[in-house]
Structures are given as C-alpha cells and as structure tokens.
C-alpha cells in the first residue's frame, strides 16, 4: 500500500485527484499508476485502469487471475468492473468511498458481477493516510479556486 | 445503431466478441469502436471504453456531456461506469445483458452512480439483430472449439 500511496502523491504533485494503484503477481510489482484524467483529458484514465492496462501489456494476457491489487481508494463502478473483467484475484484498498465505491459501498461489483468471478477484497488499509491525501487535495483546490 | 452493428460485425470478422459502439455529438459521429480485448489482450478494451477514449481525444475533454452513445449490448459495470464518469448524456443499446448489464439488468449504474450524474438510456433497439450477432458468434466458437 505504501507504493500505491507514493503513486497517489505523484498524482497530487501533478494536480490530479491523488489516487494510486499497484498490481502485484507472485510478490513482484507488475505495474504502478496514478490517476491522469486531467493531464490526458480522457475520462477512463483512473489509476486502476492504467495499472490494469500496464499489467496486461506486461504479462501479454487480459486475464490477471494471479494478481493482487493495492488501491488507495475504494474503486468506482468503472474500475471495479475492470478489476472483475481482468479476473483479478484480490484487492486491498485504503479509504472507503461511501457514495460511489463499488466494492462494499454502493454496489458489490467485485463480488457480484454476473461473470462467475469474484474478487476478494479488504478495505480500510492505511485508511487515514489515504483519506487525508484526498481531503488535502480537495482543500487545496478550494483555496486555489474559490 | 446501424453503424454500431457494423462495428460489431468488424469485431466478428476479427474473431472478437461482436459488440460495437458509436458516439455522436450534435448529430455528428465522433467515434466508432468494437471490442478488441482478444487482439490487444487488454481486459479494458471493450467497444465502449475504446469509443469513449477516442471521443475524449477528439474533443480534447474528459467531459462528453453533449454526447449520445449507441451500443449493440447493454454495458457491463466497467463500461457503464465509464459512461457515467464521462458524463455522457444518453445511451441507446440493443440487446439486454440479463446477467451483468449495468443499465437496467444487474445494477442501475447509468442512473445511480454516486456522481450526481444520470445518463438517460433506452434499451432494446434493433435487439434481435444485436442479439443474433452474439448468439452466432458464440455458436461458431462452440463449433470451432468443442
């Protein structure tokens, strides 16, 4: 999770919503990414999507069945759906996203997605740190752009 | 929808699951795409994601608030989430995906996604044709790979 937080911090420095994601297979880091929707102006470029795409390219397969993923925030519907589509084995996430999170909060997309695939998940890891990053980011935006 | 079906047919010819998507803004086709997960071996490369990414690149904005989208199949969680994230105005889709569709079938991600954004949708357009394409594809796979 520390690596995912580092990725989120990179996002913060680039004025992106600070969310980071890391994919690990057999104890080895396969991909790291942070949110780049502002820089790219592409709506799909959340940290999780970027990390999954990099991992697929690196492994040469759309199936990441042995992968574990660390994310600083509970994934949205798009990212939870991508995690399920990529058949990722397990997800660890930091802060809960009560309004739109699709692991535990809004819809249980990781565990019930109609795909006969269930991704295990554990939320609340380094929760305070992950949450503080986002709070500080939005606070700084409010000061800069009142 | 005819253009989306043509895209799906291209997918069929390339041995991809035949799903097509087209994005229109102000009556003008902005992007067209079909599913390319097999060719690219990237789990996220569904027709909708590819069409949204192309449209964002073309318009230079992650917000596609004036866009209407035509899809041959009800979108999955990932794609419905991407449609919501891109703030797409309206979606027309062909066949319903009863197990995993996230417009009307499994979860109402287009209309309730925690984003204060709701995408209108209408399903069942050219439903028989869109559905037959998928059925024929899976039938051909079963014959080829018993």
Provide the whole-model pTM.
Answer: 0.96
Which chain A residues in 45-104 lie under 8 Å from chain B, judged by CB atoms?
45-46, 49, 52-53, 56-57, 60-64, 76-82, 84-87, 97, 99-102
Confidence band for B146, pLDDT divided at 50, 70 and 90: low
Confidence band for B143, pLDDT divided at 50, 70 and 90: confident
Partner-chain contact B41 A60, CB within 8 Å: yes
pLDDT tens-place string over residues A57-100: 999 999 999 999 999 999 999 999 999 999 999 999 999 999 99
- The ipTM of this complex is 0.95
Q: Say how far apart CA A61 and CA A74 lie, in whole Å.
A: 25
Q: What is the DSSP letter of A124?
A: -
CB of B23 less than 8 A from some CB of A: no
pLDDT tens-place string over residues B48-86: 999 999 999 999 999 999 999 999 999 999 999 999 999
Do residues A135 and A143 make contact, with C-beta atoms less than 8 angstroms apart?
Answer: no
Q: Around B116, how many Cα atoms within 13 Å sit in the side-chain half-sphere?
A: 0
Q: Say how far apart CA B86 and CA B71 lie, in whole Å.
A: 15
């Amino acid at each position: 999770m520390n690596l995912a937080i580092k990725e989120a911090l990179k996002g913060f420095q680039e004025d992106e919503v600070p969310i980071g994601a890391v994919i690990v297979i057999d104890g080895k880091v396969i991909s790291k990414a942070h949110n780049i929707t502002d820089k790219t102006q592409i709506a799909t470029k959340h940290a999780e999507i970027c990390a999954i795409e990099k991992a697929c390219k690196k492994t040469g397969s759309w199936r990441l069945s042995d992968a574990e993923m660390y994310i600083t925030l509970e994934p949205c519907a798009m990212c939870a759906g991508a995690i399920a589509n990529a058949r990722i084995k397990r997800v660890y996430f930091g802060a809960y996203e009560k309004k739109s999170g699709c692991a535990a909060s809004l819809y249980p997309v990781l565990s019930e997605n109609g795909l006969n695939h269930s991704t295990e998940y554990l939320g609340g890891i380094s929760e305070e740190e992950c949450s503080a990053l986002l709070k500080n980011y939005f606070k700084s935006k409010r000061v800069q752009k009142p």
